Structure 1
């Protein structure tokens, strides 16, 4: 009898292995497709808007209106609730994610970003790929017990595909979603992340940011720690903004007024600072190119202050007005410019002789870690973004400092607050 049960258990794991590989491949395909389609059309529309500022007014209103129409007539009149849907699906005795969540988050996430909504497609990818895992668990009776494991497998593969690093996918599934590790989950997420990374390698996916990091100096470590503290404080500002504006937008009785107000606010802010358009990765790439030679002029100071002040607000308005996304891309964006601003101030007023590019990279990890309370995810994700591990030690230290700074000020992230 014992031998029979053991064989039955092995049989179940074989089925889980097959399901995990399929989920991993499909989630990777979904994540890479969403990333490239969004990047392609965002660049086209952003370039068009730079040539004629009138498009900065038209695009947000059109995008939010189109998302609302699709929700009303195609996606069962249900708004996407972001990563809260994943938490609900992985709760004990809960239902899985419905199939329409895959096209809903894919399409709405893309439309939000390409038409100027100041967020990213990362959370859209997470929920869509989680839905792939959830659907796989429903295809066979014995896989239903592995619903959470397959959801985490889909998420791990999706994040791996987005950022070219399987460790970030694995750690995100653990640090943010499941908070625990079981043998089936370890098997499922490892296989899914592995097949996703293999797919990334076959496609020869390039890192998001092309940087050349040669070294970092030990004398900069205290300043890195200060940057971690500043990132922790800024992350609380981002979290509070998102929670505040979501609450305010719920007071609108009409979706038309919500869209009108949201689009007007987004248009105004991107007219003032075009860097805030969409994910903002285009602005980071431009700043990376000239980071080490940047001088702190009044215009530079005003621009960077405006970015740090307005990015949390425009992200919050985008989400409150019906846009699809989360704080992944905004965290990376704010962290990059926070690090750049801090480094330039240090070099200008304190003759610190720090390397601004290094501070941009470390700032990304610090802000992301503090925003989602996942320091190890942030560490490996940012290493994957630049395809370089030179800054591993300061990235690790600052990610931990930023997380615990943020946590000591406000114990919730946008994601964990959704669980309440």
Structure 2
């Protein structure tokens, strides 16, 4: 072996050795950030929602406080720059010179936390994704050996963050591939695999539990046509969600005074949550309540009106939250909306067609299908859904509904909130 080959071999050995070490560090920091943000948000959201249930005016006061605090933090602490969500990662990975600045970690962490606990109808997932992506970006900047691997290290942070939030390393790696990277190579698999594995270890060490405890009892083959119907309905509704987000962001951008955006946003959020408290925050509290009684739910007029109100209003309040300055994205809203569409469809089918389907199963399928259609990532949605219930018995039905939902949405509208171009038509 000549000297050039020896040097090349040594270079690759050192590079991969350092990649392994930095991946462990990224995985640890990203998982720790995600777990802390998740625990803090769940704790304080529950406290404030209980207060608002007892004093109706708090449904207006809390969003006003949350959006105002975020505005002043951005103006005086975070360089007067609004968070763009996943788009920030795209801008960084497509241009080598760009990087995610360090302040993006506290910016997304704090703003995502404040948005949700004060009733903003979104979730902490996108805030976590950008914050953990920034950890990967910073790691890349610290070592010249990693100049060609910025995207991979950013994906490592993203994969670890998603793993920690949803208890699924497969969902973390697949999200990094389907949404962020769009390509796979040896370095991608190495760093994302290590970072996600470290995140799983952190989940066990800190005794984290799956998001939902769901008593599933299998599924029936005769329900396959109904699964396809659910996928199609959810795919259509995901287009409504996407267009709502884009529409309200455009309209609010035309309001010059930010104080007016906050006041209008507060009014819409307050009225909506006063009518339907299930819309408060990311809405996981409402999903947990319905999981317990899903199989015993009867289709009464009040149930139908409530579910339809939730399904139609959630995209609007999510869009208004984001347009008026809140931090977050469509991850949690998609899971929330999908659960209620699935439950309503199952109860409707059982009531009017004696279909004999299992409503709880349809809730779970709806979660995955709506997320799949909203972000065009069916395999991420598949493993994420199985992860949040810590159960793979619905693997095939979830896969089917995720694929049907995605392709239905794509046929109706080729963009998501991540891929939309300002030149495209709404």
Whether 2:187 is the aligned partner of 1:184: answer: yes
State the partner residue of 1:377. 380
Distance 2:256 2:410 in 1: 34
* 1:368-409 alpha-carbon deviations (Å, 9 max, x no partner): 000000000000000011000110000011100100000111
Structure 2 residue 394 is matched with structure 1 residue 391: yes
Q: Where do 5+ consecutive residues of structure 2 fail to align?
A: none
Distance 2:107 2:147 in 1: 23
Aligned equivalent of 1:66: 69
Structure 2 match to 1:331: 334
Match of 1:266 in 2: 269
1:7 is displaced (CA, Å) by 1.7
Gaps of 5+ in 1: none
Is 1:368 matched with 2:371? yes
TM-score normalized by structure 1?
0.99
- Do residues 129 (structure 1) and 132 (structure 2) align? yes
Asked if 1:288 is matched to 2:291, the reply is yes
Match of 1:116 in 2: 119
Corresponding residue SS for 2:202: helix
The corresponding residue for 1:250 is: 253
Given the alignment of the two structures, is residue 13 of structure 1 paired with residue 16 of structure 2, yes or no?
A: yes
Aligned to 2:301: 298
Shift of 1:419: 8.9
Q: What whole-Å deviation, never above 9, does each CA across 1:174-231 have from its counterpart, x for those lacking one?
A: 0000000111111111110111111111112111111110110111111011000001
Find the aligned partners of 2:261 and 2:97 in 1 and give their Cα distance: 31
Among 167, 171, 174, the residue aligned to 2:174: 171
In 2, Cα distance between equivalents of 1:39 and 1:392: 28
Which residue of 2 is the match for residue 54 of structure 1? 57
Number of the residue aligned with 1:196: 199
**How far off its partner does 1:146 sit?**
1.6
Structure 2 distance, partners of 1:14, 1:66, is 44
2:226 is aligned with 1:223: yes
Shift of 1:10: 1.4
Match of 2:310 in 1: 307
Q: Residue 418 of structure 1: CA displacement?
A: 5.7
Structure 1 residue 4 corresponds to structure 2 residue 35: no
Report SS of the residue matched to 1:323: coil
Query: RMSD of aligned C-alpha atoms?
Result: 0.9
The number of aligned residues is 420
TM-score (norm 2): 0.98
Tell me the CA shift for residue 288 of structure 1.
0.6
- Quick one: structure 1 residues 221 and 374, their matched pair in 2 at CA, closer, same or farther if it must change by over 3 Å? same
Cα separation, 1, equivalents of 2:359 and 2:397: 14
Correspondence for 1:35:
38
CA distance in 1, matches of 2:364, 2:108: 29
Tell whether the 8 Å contact from 1:88 to 1:94 is kept in structure 2 after alignment.
Answer: no
Q: Would the aligned equivalents of 1:87 and 1:419 in 2 still touch at CA under 8 Å?
A: no
Matched, 1:83 2:86: yes
